[in-house]
A and B are shown apart, each in its own frame.
Chain A
Amino acid sequence: DAKTTQPPSMDCAEGRAANLPCNHSTISGNEYVYWYRQIHSQGPQYIIHGLKNNETNEMASLIITEDRKSSTLILPHATLRDTAVYYCIVRGALKTSYDKVIFGPGTSLSVIP
């Protein structure tokens, strides 16, 4: 079973911020929160990851609650090209933990003109 829960779908108006929530109440102290997205007919694409501090890069911002049991991915100005399935994943810091990575069904984000 996936270690995260996400809403199955969300809509967002073009140009507005898209806030995608993720619950990971069983996250352990050394596990990171990762976000990927998958545009139709393409492979997943890494977006961002974090441990406990908020993170920002050119694609998105990641807000992690103080108890680390949930997080929110923020796309500040959503465009039609951001329409995709967004996956929230928890995994350890070591690359060897990739064998324990479980992708859930994700959130299907639709950006509406």
Chain B
Amino acid sequence: DTGVSQDPRHKITKRGQNVTFRCDPISEHNRLYWYRQTLGQGPEFLTYFQNEAQLEKSRLLSDRFSAERPKGSFSTLEIQRTEQGDSAMYLCASSPGGTGGYEQYFGPGTRLTVT
């Protein structure tokens, strides 16, 4: 399967712990996106990479959140000192460069539960 993959698929953590999620985009895609989705809502944009450069961060991405994409390949999203409000599905997507930014390919997501 050559789609976007995310690991882990599920994560349960206690409040105050740090968690890290990984996303592997489609190999030839140089754009990578992170979204967060809570129950009953559509995904909300968090951040965007063009190759290894992080070009925009939503104000939803507080100082406890950090994302990286070393060497423009896989990406990681880390949440420090998790809070119960961080419980959500974290989705990664990728797309090729050039036009067509509205067609993004999403992974299956990582469901985070903070207890």
Q: Do A and B associate with each other?
A: no
Which residues of A are at the interface with B, using a C-beta cutoff of 8 A?
Answer: none
